[in-house]
C-alpha cells in the first residue's frame, strides 16, 4: 500500500485524470480538429453502436456474431472508444478460437457500450448549451 502512494506521488498530474470512454484527442485527429464534425461523428457512432450491439445480443449464428463484433470493434476504434474496441476484439478472438461467448462477456461489453453512449449523450447535450 505504501508503494502505491509513492508511485501516485511521482506520476505526472495528467496521469491522475480518469480515462474517458472516448479518446477525444484521437477523435479530433480523425476529424482534423473540426468540432462540428466530431459531434456529427459521435452522433453517427452512437446510433451505429446501439444498432450493432442490439444485433449482437440477438445473434446466435457464428456469422452473425462475427459481423456484429467486427463492426463494433471497427467503429469503436475509429472514434477512439478503446475499451469497447478492446472488449469486442477479445470476443472476436474467442469466437474465432472456437470458444463459445459467455453471457458475462456480452454483459461486460454492454456495460462499456452504455458508458460510451452516456458519455456521448453528455457531450451532445453540452454542445447544445453553447
15-31: pLDDT as tens digits: 556 689 999 999 999 99
Q: Is residue 47 included in any domain, yes or no? A: yes
Which grid coordinates are listed for 83?
475499451
* pLDDT > 90? residue 83: yes
CATH number of domain containing 97:
1.20.120
In a domain, 115, yes or no: yes
What does the pLDDT look like over 35-61, one tens digit per residue? Answer: 999 999 999 999 999 999 999 999 999
Q: Which domain holds residue 44?
A: 24-127
Local confidence band at 130 (pLDDT 50, 70, 90 cut-offs): low
Q: What is the mean pLDDT of the segment spanning 1-23?
A: 57
Question: Given this model, what pLDDT does residue 7 score?
Answer: 40
Look up the pTM and report it: 0.84
Please compute the mean of the pLDDT values over residues 92-115 and round it to a whole number.
96
Residue 7 lies in a domain: no
Whether residue 117 is contained in a domain is answered as yes
Q: How many domains does the chain have?
A: 1
The more confident residue out of 13 and 33 is: 33
Amino acid at each position: 500500500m505504501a508503494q502505491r502512494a509513492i508511485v501516485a506521488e511521482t506520476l505526472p498530474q495528467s496521469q491522475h485524470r480518469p480515462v474517458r470512454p472516448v479518446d477525444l484527442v484521437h477523435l479530433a485527429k480523425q476529424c482534423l480538429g473540426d468540432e462540428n464534425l466530431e459531434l456529427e461523428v459521435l452522433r453517427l457512432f452512437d446510433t451505429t453502436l446501439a444498432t450493432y450491439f442490439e444485433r449482437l445480443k440477438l445473434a446466435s449464428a457464428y456469422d452473425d456474431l462475427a459481423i456484429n463484433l467486427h463492426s463494433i470493434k471497427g467503429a469503436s476504434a475509429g472514434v477512439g472508444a478503446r475499451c469497447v474496441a478492446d472488449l469486442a476484439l477479445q470476443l472476436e478472438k474467442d469466437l474465432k478460437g472456437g470458444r463459445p461467448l459467455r453471457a458475462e462477456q456480452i454483459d461486460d461489453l454492454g456495460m462499456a457500450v452504455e458508458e460510451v453512449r452516456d458519455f456521448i449523450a453528455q457531450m451532445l447535450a453540452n454542445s447544445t448549451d453553447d
